[in-house]
């Protein structure tokens, strides 16, 4: 590409020259339990600590993980409080002597000493930063309880404002039996005021003792899926038209230790029988309500293909097994997991999936072995583990594509050829732009690439416009190189914006208990996924504007060198780099003739582009643009200003085989033209 002269930029599109087919699963989602992505996020359960096993969260020390403080024992009944009203008195405690089932070894014992008439005693749950109330909404409640012999009362369920003054919805269970039983009720709000400042209360006005084993409350879910997903978040995702879902991690797959990995067998079956686990990778409890079948249901709801990452015998704090008999256990676990996903009902795990409510097998084409195994620095360690997994998976499922997780690093696998490499990178805006053309020089033969985690990390909790523009520059690179990059998914996907909920800054979609929003980077993803053809088109650019960038000094060199700094390393002084201010990609719809031209203007001034098309007889004068722009790169969306930056669609008159169009400062534009 040539540097800019006074004539402005020229974009020469060769519409008859196709360089690649757009892959069928190009734009996807990456997901894991981080930033309360599911607990208090996508998974619509409103009760926090529903089986009383949650403990005070782990205090993470990011600088020194070994000094993280482990979670405290669950003796404090976190998120539950005692309700005593109008003279009612009682107490609550964890009772290990009255377990609901082996997965829920302690129940909540509620002792009601004094209650009668309108005197009430009960327990209240504060939810995930509140229980959201919306008008004219039906909530489904479920709980397990038993009473000591002689208890004559029932239980009132209610959603009550935190100050106790407003009851938004209520329901009655008339009698509690003296053996464990499941109780279900619906609660309907009327003309209630929308608010998150509420709690969920189970109470009674009779003295006695009740044990509660499990409590659940769901609002309406997306497509009414039982044990399903929050509607607004699913709609944001559906609007991205994702083609695949990479799950369940990320670090969440691995856990800090084997004990806290995503142990898929503990995440299936009735929710009251799932033990849950400490998500120590991110420092909080997971109910595992979001289990393997729920991830697959999520795929089904949004018509996405699952990309299943299996645990590969390596955890974050370095616990690992060598290839050999110990690894076999995990290989077997992975094969069974694949059978649970894909097996018909004549197989053991396919039959189990059918019993769990989904007789039809799921389509699965991609399995990833581990996550970021480049962190296993022992030479050859991942290679050896990958080899065993690869051979076992290919032997039983020859049609599955196996993805490695070490990327192109010194730990890349050598003994087998993976079907796909998984690249991960998180960068500053300038670094992202500096690398935006990297895939042009990636080798064209051998394994394809899934960019399984990537993001421009500028902005918190969600990325700002500067990040979105650098992301778009990078995505244009993916599109131009779709013969090599066959899949990509931004990470992390979600952040609950409440104080204390975020472990990782710069996440695509933000929310609290009531509302949600897409960041500018979300809109960039949406624009790319919604506006592309089935083929990549060749083009050249002349007179490109550039900006000088001085990369930050890096610490390299040996400790003890004469010019070493306090950390003992020699600072490197990189050369300044010329970064392009504009980026492009072009795709076309080979049947309909639409040409989708993406133009990214990173600069603070409007850029005029002379667009010349060849390989067509004509271009319709009427075209359109979809533009995301901001007045400053720091502009962003937030929970209080969710729609500050959103794409705007505009009609364009005067498109032709040779015309000029101006693109606004700090903008991402899709120009859609109809060619013949
Ligand atoms: O996306 C956040 C984390 O970044 C992922 O869990 C991990 O795979 C990567 O290091």
Three-state SS annotation for 110-172: EEEEECCCCCEEEEEECECCECCECCCCEEEEEEEEEECCCCCCCEEEEEEECCCCCEEEEEE
Measured by CA distance, the residue closest to atom 5 of ligand 1 is 250
Evaluate whether 373 touches 413 at the Cβ level (below 8 Å). Answer: no
**Taking each helix axis from N to C terminus, what angle separates 325-342 and 292-302, rounded to the nearest 10 degrees?**
40
Residue 453, ligand 1, Cβ within 6 A: yes
**Per-residue model confidence (pLDDT) at position 574:** 82
Residue 28, ligand 1, Cβ within 6 A: no
**Per-residue model confidence (pLDDT) at position 388:** 97
> Helix, strand, or coil here: 299?
helix
Enumerate helices (H) and strands (E) in the chain, giving the number of each. Answer: 9, 36
Nearest to residue 11, comparing CAs of 582, 616, 649, 675?
582
CA distances from 595 to 131, 657, 658 (A): 47, 12, 14
- DSSP bridge pairs for 27: 488
Any residues with CB less than 8 A from the CB of 278 and at least 6 apart, and which? Answer: 55, 58, 71, 260, 284, 285, 286
Average pLDDT for residues 341-368, to the nearest whole number?
98
Measured distance CA(599)–CA(583) in Å, rounded: 6
**Per-residue model confidence (pLDDT) at position 390:** 98
Residues carrying CATH 2.60.40.1180, the chain: 9-22+542-558+565-674
Instruction: Indicate if the pLDDT at residue 66 is higher than 60.
Output: no
Instruction: Indicate if the pLDDT at residue 396 is higher than 90.
Output: yes
Evaluate whether 22 touches 587 at the Cβ level (below 8 Å). Answer: yes
- For residue 30, the ligand 1 atom closest to its alpha carbon is 1
- For 615, half-sphere exposure in the C-beta direction (CA atoms, 13 angstrom radius) is 14
Measured by CA distance, the residue closest to atom 7 of ligand 1 is 250
Tell me how far the alpha carbon of residue 369 lies from the centroid of ligand 1, in angstroms. 15
- DSSP bridge pairs for 554: 572
Measured by CA distance, the residue closest to atom 3 of ligand 1 is 250
**Per-residue model confidence (pLDDT) at position 589:** 97
Instruction: Indicate if the pLDDT at residue 418 is higher than 50.
Output: yes
**Per-residue model confidence (pLDDT) at position 63:** 52
Neighbours of 674 (CB within 10 A): 18
Measured distance CA(598)–CA(20) in Å, rounded: 16
> Helix, strand, or coil here: 622?
coil
**Per-residue model confidence (pLDDT) at position 412:** 80
Strand pairing of 594-601 and 570-572?
unpaired
**Per-residue model confidence (pLDDT) at position 60:** 58
Tell me how far the alpha carbon of residue 192 lies from the centroid of ligand 1, in angstroms. 40
Nearest to residue 90, comparing CAs of 251, 12, 207, 168?
207
Residue 32, ligand 1, Cβ within 6 A: yes
Tell me how far the alpha carbon of residue 507 lies from the centroid of ligand 1, in angstroms. 11
**Per-residue model confidence (pLDDT) at position 593:** 95
Top-confidence residue, 3 or 299: 299
Measured by CA distance, the residue closest to atom 2 of ligand 1 is 492
Average pLDDT for residues 146-151, to the nearest whole number?
94
* Length of the chain (residues): 676
**Per-residue model confidence (pLDDT) at position 2:** 45
- Residue 567: is it exposed, middle or buried by C-beta count within 10 angstroms (0-12/13-18/19+)? exposed
Residues carrying CATH 2.60.120.260, the chain: 74-218
pLDDT, mean over the chain? 94
**What percentage of the chain exceeds 90 in pLDDT?**
89
Residue 251, ligand 1, Cβ within 6 A: yes
**Per-residue model confidence (pLDDT) at position 407:** 83
Instruction: Indicate if the pLDDT at residue 568 is higher than 80.
Output: no
Top-confidence residue, 19 or 377: 19
Residue 492, ligand 1, Cβ within 6 A: yes
Dmax over CA atoms of the chain, in Å, equals 91
Tell me how far the alpha carbon of residue 251 lies from the centroid of ligand 1, in angstroms. 6
List of long-range contacts for 499-503, beta carbons under 8 Å, 24+ apart: 501/35, 501/36, 501/40, 501/129, 502/35, 502/460, 502/461, 503/34, 503/35, 503/60, 503/282, 503/283
**Per-residue model confidence (pLDDT) at position 6:** 55
Of 34-43, 282-291, 375-384, least confident by mean pLDDT is 375-384
Q: Which H or E run contains 381?
A: helix 381-396
Instruction: Indicate if the pLDDT at residue 68 is higher than 70.
Output: no
Instruction: Indicate if the pLDDT at residue 257 is higher than 70.
Output: yes
Query: Ligand 1, from 453, 462, 495: best to mutate by most atoms within 8 Å of Cβ?
Result: 453
Average pLDDT for residues 407-411, to the nearest whole number?
73
**Per-residue model confidence (pLDDT) at position 562:** 62
For the record, the structure tokens of 253 come out as: 């797959």
Of 38-42, 545-549, 567-571, 586-590, least confident by mean pLDDT is 567-571
Measured distance CA(306)–CA(15) in Å, rounded: 34
Class of domain 9-22+542-558+565-674: mainly beta
Measured by CA distance, the residue closest to atom 9 of ligand 1 is 250
Tens-place pLDDT, residues 582-593: 999 999 999 999
Instruction: Indicate if the pLDDT at residue 73 is higher than 90.
Output: no
**Per-residue model confidence (pLDDT) at position 8:** 86
Instruction: Indicate if the pLDDT at residue 310 is higher than 90.
Output: yes
CA distances from 254 to 66, 258, 259, 263, 381 (A): 16, 7, 10, 9, 16
- DSSP bridge pairs for 580: 546
Measured by CA distance, the residue closest to atom 8 of ligand 1 is 250
Q: What is the pTM of this model?
A: 0.95
Tell me how far the alpha carbon of residue 423 lies from the centroid of ligand 1, in angstroms. 12
Residue 249, ligand 1, Cβ within 6 A: yes
Query: Ligand 1, from 250, 282, 423, 521: best to mutate by most atoms within 8 Å of Cβ?
Result: 250
Average pLDDT for residues 278-293, to the nearest whole number?
96
- For residue 491, the ligand 1 atom closest to its alpha carbon is 1
Residue 339, ligand 1, Cβ within 6 A: no
Query: Ligand 1, from 29, 30, 246, 251: best to mutate by most atoms within 8 Å of Cβ?
Result: 251
Residue 491, ligand 1, Cβ within 6 A: yes
Instruction: Indicate if the pLDDT at residue 400 is higher than 70.
Output: yes
Average pLDDT for residues 218-247, to the nearest whole number?
98
Instruction: Indicate if the pLDDT at residue 633 is higher than 50.
Output: yes
- For residue 455, the ligand 1 atom closest to its alpha carbon is 1
Instruction: Indicate if the pLDDT at residue 243 is higher than 90.
Output: yes
**CATH code, 74-218:** 2.60.120.260
Instruction: Indicate if the pLDDT at residue 343 is higher than 60.
Output: yes
For the record, the structure tokens of 666 come out as: 């700090």
């Amino acid at each position: 590409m040539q540097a800019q002269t006074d004539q402005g930029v020229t974009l020469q599109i060769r519409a008859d020259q196709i360089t690649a087919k757009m892959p069928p699963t190009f734009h996807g989602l990456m997901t894991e339990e981080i930033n309360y992505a599911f607990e208090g996020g996508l998974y619509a359960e409103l009760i926090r600590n529903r089986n009383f096993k949650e403990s005070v969260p782990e205090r993470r020390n990011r600088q020194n993980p070994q000094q993280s403080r482990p979670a405290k024992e669950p003796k404090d009944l976190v998120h539950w409080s005692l309700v005593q009203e109008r003279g009612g008195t009682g107490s609550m405690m964890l009772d290990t002597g009255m377990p609901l089932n082996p997965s829920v070894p302690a129940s909540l014992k509620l002792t009601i000493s004094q209650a009668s008439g309108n005197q009430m005693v009960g327990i209240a749950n504060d939810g995930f930063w509140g229980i959201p109330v919306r008008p004219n909404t039906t909530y489904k409640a479920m709980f397990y309880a038993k009473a000591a012999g002689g208890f004559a009362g029932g239980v009132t369920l209610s959603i009550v404002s935190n100050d106790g003054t407003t009851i938004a919805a209520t329901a009655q269970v008339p009698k509690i039996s003296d053996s464990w039983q499941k109780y279900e009720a619906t609660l309907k709000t009327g003309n209630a005021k929308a608010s998150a400042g509420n709690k969920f209360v189970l109470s009674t006005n009779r003295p006695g003792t009740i044990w509660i084993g499990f409590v659940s409350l769901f609002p309406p879910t997306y497509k009414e899926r039982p044990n399903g997903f929050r509607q607004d978040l699913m709609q944001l995702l559906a609007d991205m038209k994702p083609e695949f879902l990479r799950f369940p991690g990320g670090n969440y797959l691995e856990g800090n230790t084997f004990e806290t990995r995503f142990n898929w067998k503990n995440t299936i079956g009735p929710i009251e029988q799932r033990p849950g686990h400490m998500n120590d990778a991110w420092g909080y409890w997971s109910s595992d309500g979001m289990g393997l079948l729920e991830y697959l249901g999520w795929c089904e709801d949004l018509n996405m293909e699952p990309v299943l990452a299996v645990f590969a015998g390596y955890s974050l704090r370095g616990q690992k097994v060598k290839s050999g008999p110990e690894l076999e256990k995990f290989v077997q676990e992975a094969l069974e997991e694949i059978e649970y996903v894909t097996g018909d009902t004549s197989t053991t795990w396919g039959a189990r999936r059918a019993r769990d409510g989904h007789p039809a097998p799921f389509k699965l084409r991609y399995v990833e072995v581990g996550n970021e195994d480049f962190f296993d620095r022992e030479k050859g360690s991942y290679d050896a583990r990958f080899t065993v997994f690869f051979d076992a998976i290919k032997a039983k499922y020859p049609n599955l594509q196996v993805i490695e997780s070490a990327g192109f690093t010194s730990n890349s696998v050598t003994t087998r050829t993976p079907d796909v490499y998984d690249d991960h990178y998180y960068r500053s805006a300038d670094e992202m732009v500096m690398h935006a053309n990297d895939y042009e020089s990636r080798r064209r033969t051998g394994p394809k690439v899934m960019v399984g985690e990537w993001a421009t990390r500028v902005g918190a909790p969600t990325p700002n416009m500067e990040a979105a523009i650098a992301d778009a520059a990078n995505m244009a690179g993916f599109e131009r190189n779709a013969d090599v990059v066959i899949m990509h998914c931004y990470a992390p996907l979600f952040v609950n914006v409440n104080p204390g909920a975020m472990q990782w800054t710069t996440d695509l979609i933000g929310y609290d208990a009531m509302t949600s929003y897409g960041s500018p980077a979300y809109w960039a993803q949406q624009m790319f996924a919604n506006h592309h053809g089935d083929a990549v088109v060749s083009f050249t650019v002349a007179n490109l504007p550039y900006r000088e960038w001085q990369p930050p000094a890096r610490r390299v060199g040996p400790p003890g060198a004469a010019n070493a700094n306090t950390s003992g390393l020699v600072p490197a002084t990189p050369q300044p780099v010329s970064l392009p201010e504009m980026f492009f990609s072009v795709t076309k719809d080979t049947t309909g003739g639409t040409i989708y031209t993406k133009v990214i203007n990173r600069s603070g001034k409007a850029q005029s582009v002379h667009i010349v098309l060849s390989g067509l007889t004509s271009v319709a004068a009427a075209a359109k643009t979809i533009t995301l722009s901001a007045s400053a790169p720091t502009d962003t969306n937030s929970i209080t200003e969710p729609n500050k930056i959103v794409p705007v669609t505009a009609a364009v008159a005067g498109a032709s085989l040779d015309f000029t169009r101006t693109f606004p400062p700090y903008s991402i534009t899709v120009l859609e033209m109809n060619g013949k």
